[in-house]
Amino acid sequence: MSGGDHQTGEAPSRRLDLLASLRGYKSAWLPTDIGAGLAIAAVGLPSAIAYPAIAGLPAETGIYASIASVLAYAVFGPSRRLIVGPDAATVTLLASVMGAALGATGGGADARVAVAAAIAIMVGAICLIARLLRLGSIASFLSRPILVGFFAGVALSILVGQLGKVTGLKIDAPGPVTAIVELFTKVDAIHWPSLILAAAMFVILLAAPRLKSPVPGPVIVVVLATLLSWIFGFEAMGMRVVGVLPEGLPSLSLPDFRSLSIPDFLMGTGAVFLVSFGAGIITARSFGEITGEEVDPNRELVGFGAANVASGLLGGFPVTASDSRTAVNLSVGGRTQMAGLASAVALSAAMLYFSDLLRLVPLPALGAILVSAALGLIDLKDLREIWRISPIEFVFAMVAMVGAIGFGVLQGVIIAIFGTLAHVVMNGMHPRVVLLGRLPNQAGFYKMHRSDRVQAIPGMTIVLIQDSLLFYNVNHVKERLTEIRAALPDGTRWVVLDGSGIAQIDVTGAAMLQEFHRALAGDGLRLAMAELSSEATALLRRAELIDEIGETMFFDDLEDAARSFEASRNG
């Protein structure tokens, strides 16, 4: 969350903007930042342990990702308060990508850890390459409605994925529908202590915010469930627990990429980047509105890139901006990324000194946390608003949701991408083409269909095209221009195209304009253009259309065109 890069000639060290969030740090902030860091670690630990299970990864990978990512973001990230870390939607997509990259065998635990780390490093590399190319705007590629629908589909996939944890059953079915069917066939084998514990923990998660508990619900659940597991020996009762965690912290290592299906790996990594960065920027902007910090997606690419590379090198998985951890940071009063650093120290201490306790955390409790997190991804309020404002965008949201549920999360991303492209194309296929004229005794030009008082300039017809001229909408514009040409009033000498709404023209658009110019010339009329962008003008020049029409028939604005027309008529 920071201001944009306004100087193109800045030095490389300035472009990296290292430790931006700690610049001007005051010692008086340290106690608050340390307190915020402890709160972040407390809230982050349950999800750090729970989320890896979505992708079939050991619990410690989530802790490694939580430690490494905040350390790297503190050095390279622009925001003072944004906290990065594991995210349920990203990990769900990661699971799908790992399945495709590993093939039918699925690989063992070590192979899955290596692939997850490799994907994190590659996502980070894509972020950094995108920063060099200044592609921060790609964060807006997936529209808000499509992301809302996609996350709802991911949430439902997560919910179904927790059936095994909360019931104590082994669910082998690959899809949501078949998993539910399998559950019903095995209902007699449900491990009731697991289900009762999961239900009780879920009630606590629901009640904590409603009772305004000062301790977050996931923290209560992990502490209480671990204590009960230690007292009653849940593992001996047949309840699954986290199990043995490695003591200490991981060393830096580069995963082996050679065993992967490279095409599936690269396509999946691109999908993880697109979804995690898009969602991360939405989170950053949401909190930026609260803190007053401006979000520059290009600079966030560096922070997210460094966070993912560091996570991968320490044996973690892809990360993005964490809304829950950032919210805790703001609520406790964290001032800078020193809070994130403090959370990393606290999580490191947990791995070093409390791994024996963490191994006792029962999986049904973690399943309840994941169910709660999944429900949080379903934004019914946003879906209702989308339906109220734009039913067609609601349809695209539903397409993204059904794609994630019915075809798998990775395929859901592809469907969401095509949905976005279809939405863009459909919106641009029928640009408005309207006539402009003058209001008596008023300067400027006005749309003639809005008022009978707007009159055309005698002898000159002005046409406003309100979109770019590209291959998929050229035929529609051509039809409108043909209709306008057929209805031109007697005495018309010039037809002026107002290009203020034309951001781009492609080869197909240039060919259509050339055809229109020649048709007008055949009628003894002249074509003029005004207010074209420099990019559109450059393309028309390369297409030699400016030479054909005549340089003098291109004007900076409509007023210049009108004055030139009057001069030619009087002359």
Q: What is the pTM of this model?
A: 0.78
pLDDT at 212: 87
Q: Is 489 helix (H, G, I), strand (E, B) or coil?
A: coil
- Kindly report the length of the chain: 571
Task: List b or e across 121-153, with b for residues whose CB sees 16 or more CB atoms inside 10 angstroms.
Answer: bbbbbbbbebbeeebbebbebbbebbbbbbbbb
Q: Determine what percent of the chain is predicted with pLDDT higher than 90.
A: 64
Average pLDDT over residues 126-136: 94
Q: Is 433 helix (H, G, I), strand (E, B) or coil?
A: strand
Distance CA 218, CA 228 (A): 15
Grade residue 481 by pLDDT with cuts at 50, 70 and 90. very high
Task: Please give the domain boundaries of the chain with CATH numbers for all domains.
Answer: 28-424 (no CATH), 433-570 (3.30.750.24)
Distance CA 168, CA 361 (A): 14
Least confident of 55-59, 243-247, 267-271: 243-247
Strands (E), 432-501: 433-437, 446-447, 460-465, 494-498
**Strands 84-85 and 320-321, bridge-based pairing:** antiparallel
Least confident of 171-185, 211-225, 317-331: 171-185
Residue found under tokens 């671990």: 226
**Phi, psi for 465 (deg, rounded to 5):** -105, 120
pLDDT at 23: 83
- Is the pLDDT reported for residue 130 higher than 50? yes
Distance CA 388, CA 9 (A): 46
Q: What is the tens place of the pLDDT at every residue in 28-58? A: 999 999 999 998 998 899 999 999 999 999 9
Grade residue 104 by pLDDT with cuts at 50, 70 and 90. low
Q: What is the DSSP string of 227-274?
A: HHHHHHTTTTTT--B-----SS-PPP-----TTS-HHHHHHHHHHHHH
Strands (E), 100-230: none
pLDDT at 126: 96
Grade residue 15 by pLDDT with cuts at 50, 70 and 90. low
Distance CA 146, CA 166 (A): 30
Q: What is the tens place of the pLDDT at every residue in 396-408? A: 889 889 888 877 7
Grade residue 178 by pLDDT with cuts at 50, 70 and 90. confident
Q: What is the tens place of the pLDDT at every residue in 70-91? A: 999 999 999 999 999 999 989 9
Which of 456, 453, 526 is closest to 489 using CA atoms? 456
pLDDT at 10: 41
Whether the CA torsion 128, 132, 136, 142 is positive or negative: it is negative
Average pLDDT over residues 430-453: 92
Number of CB atoms found within 10 A of residue 11's CB: 8
- Is the pLDDT reported for residue 16 higher than 80? no
Average pLDDT over residues 377-385: 92
Q: Which amino acid is at 258?
A: R
pLDDT at 571: 58
- Is the pLDDT reported for residue 413 higher than 80? no
Higher local confidence (pLDDT), 324 or 554: 554
In whole numbers, what is the pLDDT of the chain averaged over residues?
Answer: 89
Distance CA 207, CA 213 (A): 8
- Is the pLDDT reported for residue 2 higher than 70? no
pLDDT at 3: 41
C-beta of residue 222 within 8 angstroms of C-beta of residue 45 = yes
Give kind and range of the element (H or E) at residue 280.
helix 262-291
Looking at the DSSP assignment, which residues form a beta bridge with residue 362?
A: 241
C-beta of residue 296 within 8 angstroms of C-beta of residue 78 = yes
Average pLDDT over residues 114-129: 95
Distance CA 35, CA 30 (A): 9
pLDDT at 392: 87
State CA 141 to chain mean position distance.
Answer: 8
Looking at the DSSP assignment, which residues form a beta bridge with residue 437?
A: 446
- Is the pLDDT reported for residue 147 higher than 90? no
pLDDT at 13: 39
Which of 226, 158, 238, 153 is closest to 194 using CA atoms? 238
Q: What is the tens place of the pLDDT at every residue in 349-370? A: 999 998 888 999 999 999 999 9
- Give the count of alpha carbons within 13 A of 394, CB side only: 13
Looking at the DSSP assignment, which residues form a beta bridge with residue 462?
A: 436, 496
Q: Is 9 helix (H, G, I), strand (E, B) or coil?
A: coil
- The DSSP call for residue 456 is P
pLDDT at 12: 40
C-beta of residue 160 within 8 angstroms of C-beta of residue 153 = no
- Is the pLDDT reported for residue 425 higher than 90? no
Least confident of 3-7, 16-20, 279-283, 301-305: 3-7
- Is the pLDDT reported for residue 11 higher than 50? no
Grade residue 269 by pLDDT with cuts at 50, 70 and 90. very high
Q: Is 209 helix (H, G, I), strand (E, B) or coil?
A: helix
Distance CA 345, CA 91 (A): 23
Strands (E), 358-451: 433-437, 446-447
Distance CA 499, CA 535 (A): 12
Residue partners of 386: CB distance under 8 A and separation at least 6: 145, 148, 393, 394, 397
Tokens of 564: 């030139």
Distance CA 562, CA 460 (A): 8
pLDDT at 570: 72
Distance CA 124, CA 130 (A): 10
Q: Determine what percent of the chain is predicted with pLDDT higher than 70.
A: 95
